[in-house]
Amino acid sequence: MLGVCAASLTLGLPWSGVNFYALDDHPAVPASALRIMSWNTESWGKDTTPNRFYSYLRAQDADVYLLQEVIRSDADDANPRAVPDADITRIYREFRGWNIVVRGELVTISRFPIVSRPAVGPDRALSNQPNADWRTVFLACKALRTDLLVGRSVLSVYNVHIPVQVDMRRSPFTPGFYRTLRDRNPARQEQYHGLLADLTANRNPALIAGDFNTSPAMGDIEPLRERLNDASRVSDSFYPISWNQLGSLRLWRLDWAFTTQGLKVDRYALKPAPHGYSDHRAQFIRASLGS
């Protein structure tokens, strides 16, 4: 019996979320390493003031920001709404002189020039619909790719927010809970397949980061973990956790960062924002090209 238990534990470790790489000695981070922040802002910092929210963002001093949920605080998955135009305008004002792409609920802010923005997955179908309404774009674009000119190299950065499959308002003891899972799964799989297809065809070094709404125990994340380098391998955390629902024991890693060949992650950390800013921890990545 003990042998069976030990074997079960061993087989289950890859899906447990435990990060044994935290025990390794990690080399010093080169001063030239890129600074990248990826963060699900929980409806664009809905529980704090805009001044505090933008002050926090700017204080992180990242070279690239990959931000999710640029939506109104009264939005939800069934009825998403765009941030008022004044708020979108403020993004450009607060990061004047930066290179910015806003697409649906995703915003990428970069110190480096953006040389192209290829559409990924379902968003490609909108290439012939330049006047598509916001909700259509919101549902289609869950992986925003921007190609950045960093020195003489082009780095592809994917800002990701895979649709959530669970309706937390429903009890798992009701048929509606599982009906929602079934109904939402096709949209998730379409986004995953589109992302993987784009990565397969992309010859640039790439960073893929964001909220995947997928825990280590879920098979959806496995194709990415098998093909890409998980940034948590250079984390000091033995059990990386990025999301929690206050007042419960649900504590999971839903936010991930991956790289392809040609981009080395020098350090990775998940850090909580000030209380009330977001229910997600932010991902902070230091990475070097040409490694």
What is the per-residue pLDDT across 6-37, written as a single tens digit (0 to 9) for each?
333 333 445 456 776 655 677 889 999 999 99
Question: Phi and psi (nearest 5°) for 54?
Answer: -70, -35
Question: Phi and psi (nearest 5°) for 173?
Answer: -95, 15
CA dist 34 → 83, 109, 199, 266 (Å): 29, 14, 21, 9
Q: Please give the Cα distance from 156 to 259 (Å, whole number).
A: 10
pLDDT at 3: 43
**pTM (2 decimals)?**
0.88
Q: Please give the Cα distance from 88 to 279 (Å, whole number).
A: 22
pLDDT digits (tens, 9 = 90+) for 43-100: 888 889 999 999 999 999 999 999 999 887 565 555 556 566 668 899 999 999 999 9
Residue 227 has pLDDT above 70, yes or no: yes
Least confident of 1-15, 85-99, 183-197, 236-250: 1-15
Q: Which of 163, 224, 167, 133 lies closest to 40, judged by CA? A: 163
Give percent above pLDDT 70 in the chain.
78
Q: Which of 13, 35, 104 lies closest to 257, judged by CA? A: 35
